[in-house]
Structure 1
């Protein structure tokens, strides 16, 4: 698929999404449209899988609607295979296109009212997984799609009309699932998530990291590797950051994540499945990561995160005996959980691993407990590998400048820490600052090669950092001061004198014109 075709597809989906825009707020219509797309994906994947199984018998899956024992036996056999391989099951009459036919009165003798039928199908997808390995991955995936909500329309008929309209438009789009080389639907889904994030204001950070920042994090943690045993995001949002890491390597064996918000947690699981990640290869949990970690005994080869900036947490004194925090002697302050997330991530980092986390700039220089934790990580452990300053106003919902901290337990350059000041390298697009490909490449290549460049990057020794009392503020290490050009005062004085003489000449000419015209001179 060409870039032009891809853009056309993305625009088609966004236009369909906007069919619901007038009915509800952005958060709500996001959940419906992404849910409908996900249902279409599951149905088409199911049909392709079933038809492949039945091909040798010359049977199509959607034709198996009879209720005789032989047909039911075939359907049951397909179900068993589907639950093992796909993790879920849909009956022939539950396929997306079949529901659309009923909604458009294309099925003789049936009403076009499909809401109850559709709600039941969405529930059946989840029920089909009960008692199987994939049960947790499909549990309540569609809970945010209440088809009886008055947000869709005041009457059942009005709600049915808008749902049929949306499904009909979606049914006309070919997601090319039969092509294993293309991830058309996955890319389109990512596009929609980013579009919703750009219009979600302060709430956007709950579920989406801007793609250019995701690329930097993913490229950093995958440096020197083409396969990763595991990748983890303790605040995974929609899962986009995890999936971005997978694009940078040939293979990721397992994906792990945790997310507090229930709706966003559902979105992350959908996103994984839509990108073809097998249900056995991802483990996304819903809970508060700091208070109730769900992957306690695991370490990960790559860790990426964009935690909520300076969020509050309990800082319960009981955590001083928690293995994640006990070694530091102090807990991150309750008003700012930034270093609580750092400590949590460092605890889960494998010895051969790399972690990259986005934090607000304040985390580089704030004192008290945060300074104490920074000192321990650098002086006692020597885990800090790089500090990267990003431009302000590149995150949705906040204009504050941010940074990326990179940690490794086994550093290739144990004698120093690389500081990169990329804060002035961006392109302004309307009200948002944007990192272009060349800006991303410059950051990544500077990090990978540990390059020093005047006014951009510097390798600081551990002693220099200690001399700065473990203050990591980037200008202390990367000198960005630009000397202004000297001014020749005599030349400026002469230019002013010349201008003054020109003004006198002009005044005399104006006065002579006024005399000729017999009018009063203006001065």
Structure 2
């Protein structure tokens, strides 16, 4: 807990520097903060790996090790870098943070920091980079001093940043696992996940990601490919990778948002999933899906997605409805409305893309607006019919309202499984779980650990709980107009109290007497009204 608090303080200190130099809430703020955080992390990871790979350095502190490295010949230092594992970035001695700290009073110090960032990015571009759909490499770092307009303030800004990250060490963090780094990542980006990109409309809370991962792969797995076509910052992917085993899966993703792409790459680095970085693609999933097997779209063992629900994609609508995409978008493409084009249901496109991209034994989980579960016509109904006819629906969980802080839309999670014919389908209404709290001025529902356990255990055991969960068949769903809503299958209960025949007769007599009184009152009232009407004189 202390390490988490210290790390959060370091993040806050970088944010404070940005605010002092006029970059608070600027579009560049997230980039500066995440770059400096990542550079510090990789700097310390480099020292950690050097010490681990060289027994003679095992007793040295980071500061002692840095002095040892600086005293080496160039060849000795290059040999040490060469021996490092692929998960560690290579950093030149002049670009170590301790070296920069000792040079912070040099003229134009900001250029030295910029150079350290760009040289480190270039040296590690083959491993530590993502790419666009056209194959352009996306570097880890860019210069940060250009974000400061005032020339005289550039070196002061760079100096302040170096001072903040130099006073902190990740040395004790490298023994930590997913829970630590997921907490830190969520804190790091908490101010930057709003409207984070065209295909990252809603940030997925860690609790929801955990539920999805534990339901999808309750017993882990091995040698599998996992995919998110609207990856955002990667919360769903990382939770699933951890559940399966980071060394037992390979991550694939695509998202059109450059910002989301950067944050996802940071997430992968923190969680030691460097090998998946080349599979992180920045491009439009619907018009230009990148991941392919020969000439066909790749198929994946697991797919998770929290796609944007509504968005204007009118410019690409006719292209997506064309012959080239017809097999993938079998249920159709939403029409362009005359007004409010931003209301186009783009999530329906992602559902179809996911169904097309699942392997023959693939499993998936998709976050959808709860209204999708019962829509009585059009594309939603066609998709639900397809899912049921192919017996791939494992179950549905309807979440509490406001479980996503950035949207008031009620959401549900659809679980798919093509590895078996699903004749028993678990439908769950978890809308009454959780506690409410205020977050950034918004009302939010927080799922507690006991709520998570109840959802996961009930779903995986297919347990029937009154007004909470029910098991139905594909035939049951078909008879209800293909509704995926648990509430429509719960038994309707009528409370009654048993009475004797004598009590029944007595109640009937009471009712009859009450009715007689009402009729008498009504008759008197009617006569009074008629009397009033006759007394009205008209001119």
- Per-residue CA distance 1:118-143 (angstroms, 9 max, x = gap): 1111111222145x455546733224
SS of corresponding position for 1:459: strand
Which of 123, 147, 150 does residue 149 from structure 1 map onto?
A: 147
Kindly indicate whether residue 441 of structure 2 is the aligned counterpart of residue 432 of structure 1: no
Question: Equivalent residue for 1:224?
Answer: 219
Match of 1:387 in 2: 396
**Per-residue deviation at 1:16?**
3.8
Counterpart Cα distance in 1 of 2:493 and 2:404? 26
Q: Do 2:202 and 2:406's aligned partners in 1 also have CA atoms closer than 8 Å?
A: no
Shifted more, 450-459 versus 269-278: the winner is 269-278
1:158-197 map, 5 Å: 158-176=153-171, 179-182=174-177, 186-187=181-182, 189-197=184-192
Q: Deviations over 1:354-389 (max 9, x none)?
A: 11111112222332122112212212x111111111
Residues 1:368 and 2:378 aligned together: yes
Shift of 1:36: 0.3
1:260 aligns to 2:270 (yes or no): no
Instruction: For 1:338 and 1:188, locate their aligned partners in 2 and report how far apart those are by CA, in whole Å.
Output: 28
- Using the size of structure 2 for normalisation, the TM-score is 0.77
| Counterpart position of 2:42 | 42
Indicate the residue corresponding to 2:102 in structure 1.
101
Within the candidate set 456, 472, 489, 2:484 is matched to 472
SS in 2 for 1:328: coil
- 2: distance between equivalents of 1:170 and 1:317? 48
Listed as ranges, the gaps of 5+ residues in structure 2 are: 59-63, 132-136, 337-343, 498-506, 511-539
Deviations 1:80-128 (A, max 9, x none): 445x72474221010122212222x4xxxx44x4211111111112221
Deviations 1:180-214 (A, max 9, x none): 3556973454132453257x478795473111111
Show the counterpart of 2:467.
455
Aligned pair partner of 1:122 in 117, 123, 127: 117
**What are the equivalent positions in structure 2 for 1:65-464 lying under 5 Å apart?**
71-82=73-84, 85-86=86-87, 88-103=89-104, 105=105, 110-111=106-107, 113-129=108-124, 132=126, 136=130, 139-143=138-142, 146-150=144-148, 154-176=149-171, 179-182=174-177, 186-187=181-182, 189-197=184-192, 200=194, 206=201, 208-227=203-222, 229-251=224-246, 252-279=248-275, 283-297=279-293, 298-313=298-313, 314-316=316-318, 319=321, 321-322=323-324, 325-326=327-328, 328=330, 330-332=332-334, 335-366=344-375, 367-379=377-389, 381-411=390-420, 414-430=422-438, 431-464=443-476
Secondary structure in structure 1 of the residue aligned to 2:103: helix
Q: CA deviation at 1:262?
A: 0.7
Residue 11 of structure 1 and its aligned partner are, at CA, apart by: 4.0
Deviations 1:439-464 (A, max 9, x none): 11111111101111111111122122
State how far apart, in whole Å, the 2-side matches of 1:261 and 1:290 are.
13
Task: Give the structure-1-normalised TM-score.
Answer: 0.79
| More displaced 10-residue stretch of structure 1: 318-327 or 332-341 | 318-327
Q: Which runs of 5+ in 1 are unaligned?
A: 491-523
Q: CA offsets, 1:42-77, max 9 Å, x none?
A: 2222233345556659995655558xxx92333443
Q: SS of 2:396's equivalent?
A: strand
CA RMSD of aligned residues (A): 3.3
Match of 2:501 in 1: none
Question: Quick one: distance in 2 between partners of 1:47 and 1:207?
Answer: 37
- How many residue pairs are counted as aligned between the two chains? 467
Q: Secondary structure of the residue that 2:371 maps to in structure 1?
A: helix
* Cα drift, residue 156 of structure 1: 2.9
CA distance in 2: counterparts of 1:309 and 1:19, whole angstroms: 36
Mapped contact 2:329–2:353 kept (Cα < 8 A): no
**1:260 to partner: Cα distance:** 0.9
